[in-house]
């Protein structure tokens, strides 16, 4: 039995340690098609080579969340196999488009450690970078998770909580080389709204909803080679229910947000995110967005829009109760920057 990996426990991490995650992954037109089968994704830049070419790109790049899930999946065996909870994201940036045929690999640096007061668990902060076969970074982000200790009596490490920014500035965002929205085709994209049509504080209810099936979330999660047992094995949790990978909910909500945000074409920054409540098969997931900010960029015709994206199992755009706690039907509260026509 000694050859199988039980995953790392809290006391296995050292501040500053660099972990090269195993199994680089080549992504192809097959992953692209599966993404469209698994999520109601319709953003034109990721659906159509001709649309992407009209925006200055050589072809349609992968949906930015395919890149996120693939890199994230690589980290699971080393970071979150024994995680109790995925606590947050920060400082996430998409740095270059990824194309069919590219091979992604991932590396993480441990940038923070803090044992929790119970002494049973600790919080690990990692900064993960995904790279293509050319060595160029395509994505980096910080994630922190609560991880079990193997041995509650093991000594606590020195506490180091990294200093993370609440949100990226528009100037921190990378616009893909060549991207140009000056001749943007609003008829082909599906909606007529440009950056100036959105106002801070505006709420958009995306109306559509999807009732989720076990086969779907497991196929998606396997596609990203995410190995966390709780997503696949009904014996992994006391209640006998499989937990849906939080990233599945992110992709569902982002795809549903097409209806009202069809022109928020590419993700550029991930400011923050919380998986507020677990999602299970047979839940019906709906989504709404709040416009948090808008900003120009230096790139031709391109603006940046900062959005809160909320996934919920109930209609409506409520988020918290009177005491400021998330409502029980809220699944996800995500804060990101997207690129759209200015």
Using CB under 8 A, which residues numbered 81 to 110 contact a second copy? 100-101, 103, 105
Shortest Cβ distance from residue 280 to a second copy (Å)?
A: 13
Shortest Cβ distance from residue 187 to a second copy (Å)?
A: 5
Residue 119 or 316: the one with the smaller Cβ distance to a second copy is 316
Shortest Cβ distance from residue 241 to a second copy (Å)?
A: 10
Cβ density class 70-93: b for 16+ within 10 Å, e for less: bbbbbbbbbbbbbbeebbbbbbbb
* Residue 326 near residue 257, CB atoms below 8 Å: no
For the segment 176-195, give every residue that binds a second copy (CB under 8 A).
187-191, 193
For the segment 134-173, give every residue that binds a second copy (CB under 8 A).
none
Report CA torsion sign: 255, 232, 277, 9: negative
Q: Is 211 in the site for a second copy (CB under 8 A)?
A: yes
CA distances from 290 to 189, 259, 283 (A): 21, 13, 23
3-state class percentages of the chain: helix first, strand second, coil last, to nearest 5 = 25, 30, 45
Helical ranges in 163-309 per DSSP H: 186-189, 214-223, 246-256, 258-261
For the segment 303-342, give every residue that binds a second copy (CB under 8 A).
315
Q: Is 4 in the site for a second copy (CB under 8 A)?
A: yes
Q: Is 5 in the site for a second copy (CB under 8 A)?
A: yes
Give how many residues touch a second copy by CB under 8 A: 77
For the segment 56-75, give every residue that binds a second copy (CB under 8 A).
60
Distance of CA 104 to the CA centre of its chain: 16
Shortest Cβ distance from residue 69 to a second copy (Å)?
A: 12
Q: Is 129 in the site for a second copy (CB under 8 A)?
A: no
Which of residues 47, 251, 265, 297 is near a second copy by CB under 8 A?
Answer: 47
Q: Is 229 in the site for a second copy (CB under 8 A)?
A: yes
- Taking the alpha carbons at both ends of the chain, their separation in whole angstroms is 58
Where does residue 166 rank: exposed (0-12), middle (13-18), buried (19+ CB within 10 A)?
Answer: exposed
Which of residues 16, 17, 29, 320 is near a second copy by CB under 8 A?
Answer: 29
């Amino acid at each position: 039995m000694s050859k199988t990996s039980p995953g790392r426990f809290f006391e296995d991490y050292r501040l500053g340690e660099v972990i090269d995650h195993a199994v680089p992954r080549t992504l192809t037109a097959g992953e692209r098609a599966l993404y469209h089968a698994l999520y109601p994704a319709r953003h034109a830049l990721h659906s159509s080579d001709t649309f992407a070419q009209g925006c200055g790109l050589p072809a349609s790049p992968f949906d930015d969340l395919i890149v996120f899930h693939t890199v994230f999946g690589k980290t699971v065996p080393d970071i979150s196999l024994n995680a109790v909870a995925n606590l947050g994201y920060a400082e996430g940036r998409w740095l270059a488009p990824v194309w069919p045929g590219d091979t992604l690999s991932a590396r993480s640096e441990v940038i923070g450690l803090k044992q929790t007061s119970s002494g049973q668990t600790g919080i690990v902060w990692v900064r993960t970078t995904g790279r293509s076969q050319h060595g160029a970074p395509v994505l980096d982000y910080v994630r922190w998770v609560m991880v079990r200790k193997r041995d509650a009596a093991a000594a606590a490490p020195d506490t180091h909580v990294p200093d993370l920014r609440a949100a990226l500035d528009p100037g921190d965002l990378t616009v893909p080389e060549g991207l140009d929205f000056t001749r943007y085709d609003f008829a082909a994209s599906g909606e007529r709204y440009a950056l100036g049509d959105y106002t801070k504080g505006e709420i958009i209810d995306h109306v559509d909803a999807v009732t989720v099936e076990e086969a779907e979330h497991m196929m998606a999660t396997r596609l990203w080679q995410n190995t966390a047992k709780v997503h696949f094995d009904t014996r992994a949790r006391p209640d006998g229910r499989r937990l849906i990978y939080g990233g599945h909910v992110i992709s569902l909500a982002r795809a549903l947000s097409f209806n009202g945000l069809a022109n928020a074409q590419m993700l550029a920054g991930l400011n923050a995110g919380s998986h507020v409540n677990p999602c299970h098969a047979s839940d019906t997931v709906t989504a709404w967005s709040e416009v948090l900010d808008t900003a120009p960029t230096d790139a031709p015709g391109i603006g940046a829009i900062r959005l809160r994206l909320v996934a919920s199992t109930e209609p409506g755009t409520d988020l918290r109760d009177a005491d400021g706690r998330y409502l029980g039907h809220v699944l996800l509260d995500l804060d990101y920057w997207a690129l759209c026509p200015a």
